[in-house]
Structure 1
């Protein structure tokens, strides 16, 4: 096994034999310390890993074997309940249909902004040839890790660096159009209820909404912006505050938040759209059977799963295309804002 040393633009390689010589150990002892296989003292194991950490050596898994696993993994949200949302399930099924037809297995991994242990385990065991992210977050550890390990991956969403393969919907443009329509309907006092502010999609959607206000020459009331609505209990508290402020409309940044808003309004016996209007920056299957029907943005989730799959297959074959692909949307005006 070889290790790669990376620091800024430097790139060096070191073998287990060279590590053993520097630490005055046998190559077998170093190999056992790194692999975790075989009996070895804790003090010796710590000595090896302190050396690797001090000089920033990381395993170069791409040199261990050229054999393909014929598996890819789909990264789903690790927060409680998020992976079960229809949006992520639709993407997962679309990716599965594509890769199973190409003779690949599809493994599932849950990650959060601070926990990528399951992903690391798959990579270290050489069980995957590539990965698809179903969302992007600020400072995503999984992206950095796969880049270092040279594992091809595609993100469904947006990322700040161009050298990452990206497929996304026009979140910013869609939310700008949706907010513009609401403003043209003379709905001026709009409260926005958002999820995690660290999610790239949240940031993109808010930019679009702000652009709509700016273009309309209307000042957006930042006191009516509620972030962190990640659980129904939080949404319920936000809705209670919103109702006291006499807003005209609640604009939800995703379908899951919208469902929680609708439930909170129902509990308070608030009628839609008579007492307050409601719209969502994403419709999806979650809102399909709501009454009244919800004004929303419509995205083709199955299509984006298929496009991301094709891009990953190409990347695993050495055909890397960093041109970001943006898919369209439809603005659906329904009863909830009439």
Structure 2
């Protein structure tokens, strides 16, 4: 936050503090043009930024929270944002949306700006293993709900983690494929660098190991060293991965994708190889976005209870902002396997 005060601006412009206040609040109808220009020049030269928190206390204007998602290029995050906004609006709050691409520097920059603008509550959805990059803001008093992430060692005090049970989700989907007779099952994710993705991979492996599948038959496609977990590239990543797997030795008969967008790309790659999704190669996603049921064939996937999680995220954040709750903890919601036509018996 800028340390420049309204009094410093007034001194630099040669006017009274009330004149600067009038300009900042749009009351400049009777202000001489040269006076207005001097004040605006002083504001720009000094880098003054109005304290919106103080202004909000004076005016009683609408409250606001921040929401930082990886990217609304993935419809799951657009749906979550809409659900969180609905819960917030019902209580008189507004939501300011930011896309971080899971870049810690970008996340910290957004949160610093939100804090400087008087916003005291943020829902952070990147699921990164560490929150050290935002620790100073949390220690200053920023209320933080980490979404799609379970608590990790070293998390700042007071952070609340809200997530679906990602481990159970891929356990369910992998067991479903095993029950259909599949044994050569691949996992496609790109980078597994976030907490939610590592939990999904762990659930996948656990189901296969429990079924007695030997370790050398467990395939996880993560691309090359440059592969990321950018939601913008998930569909193309899935397409490339499935083609590589199906054109390689000992191809899988089923593929578990890290999310639905990746799974839809996997389906495209299956078709590129001249195979049918469902009857030739089974594909399972995660999230149950709207496109999953509209795909041809319909996509078998793991449904996250988005509405319940969004309501819990807002209610938790609201309680922290109103000083009604304290202490960090985790909330884990149960996922549900939704079976559609993209998964079938082993050919």
Pairwise CA RMSD = 3.3
- SS of the residue 1:74 aligns to: strand
Q: 2:253 maps to what in 1?
A: 248
Conserved? CA contact 1:109–1:119, under 8 Å: no
Moved over 4 A (4+): 36-40, 63-66
Conserved? CA contact 1:146–1:153, under 8 Å: no
Q: Distance in 1 between matches of 2:124 and 2:305?
A: 17
- SS of the residue 1:334 aligns to: coil
Q: Distance in 2 between matches of 1:183 and 1:219?
A: 14
Q: 1:121 maps to what in 2?
A: 113
Q: 1:154 maps to what in 2?
A: 145
Question: Please, which runs of 5 or more residues in structure 2 have no aligned partner?
Answer: 13-41
* CA pair 94-157 structure 1, distance change in 2 beyond 3 A: same
Shift of 1:217: 2.0
Shift of 1:330: 1.4
- SS of the residue 2:126 aligns to: coil
Q: Distance in 1 between matches of 2:130 and 2:296?
A: 39
Partner deviation per Cα, 1:182-207 (whole Å, 9 max, x = no partner)? 22322100111104321211111011
* CA pair 240-249 structure 1, distance change in 2 beyond 3 A: same
Conserved? CA contact 1:224–1:242, under 8 Å: no
Conserved? CA contact 1:311–1:321, under 8 Å: no
Q: 1:99 maps to what in 2?
A: 88
Conserved? CA contact 2:122–2:143, under 8 Å: yes
* CA pair 243-180 structure 1, distance change in 2 beyond 3 A: same
Q: Distance in 2 between matches of 1:222 and 1:148?
A: 46
Q: 1:20 maps to what in 2?
A: none
Q: Distance in 2 between matches of 1:222 and 1:187?
A: 12
Q: 1:144 maps to what in 2?
A: 135
> Is 2:209 the counterpart of 1:206?
no
Q: 1:329 maps to what in 2?
A: 335
Question: Please, which runs of 5 or more residues in structure 1 have no aligned partner?
Answer: 4-15, 17-27, 41-60
Q: 1:165 maps to what in 2?
A: 160
Shift of 1:220: 3.9
Conserved? CA contact 1:253–1:282, under 8 Å: no
Q: 1:285 maps to what in 2?
A: 290
Q: Distance in 1 between matches of 2:340 and 2:236?
A: 27
Shift of 1:72: 0.6
* CA pair 195-310 structure 1, distance change in 2 beyond 3 A: farther
Q: Distance in 2 between matches of 1:206 and 1:193?
A: 9
> Is 2:267 the counterpart of 1:262?
yes
Q: 1:320 maps to what in 2?
A: 326
* CA pair 145-109 structure 1, distance change in 2 beyond 3 A: farther
- SS of the residue 1:71 aligns to: strand
User: What are the residue-to-residue correspondences of 1:12-23 with 2, within 5 Å?
Assistant: none
TM-score, scaled relative to structure 2: 0.73
Q: Distance in 2 between matches of 1:163 and 1:177?
A: 32
Query: Which of the two has greater strand per residue?
Result: 1
* CA pair 142-88 structure 1, distance change in 2 beyond 3 A: farther
Q: 1:190 maps to what in 2?
A: 185
Q: Distance in 2 between matches of 1:37 and 1:142?
A: 30
TM-score, scaled relative to structure 1: 0.75
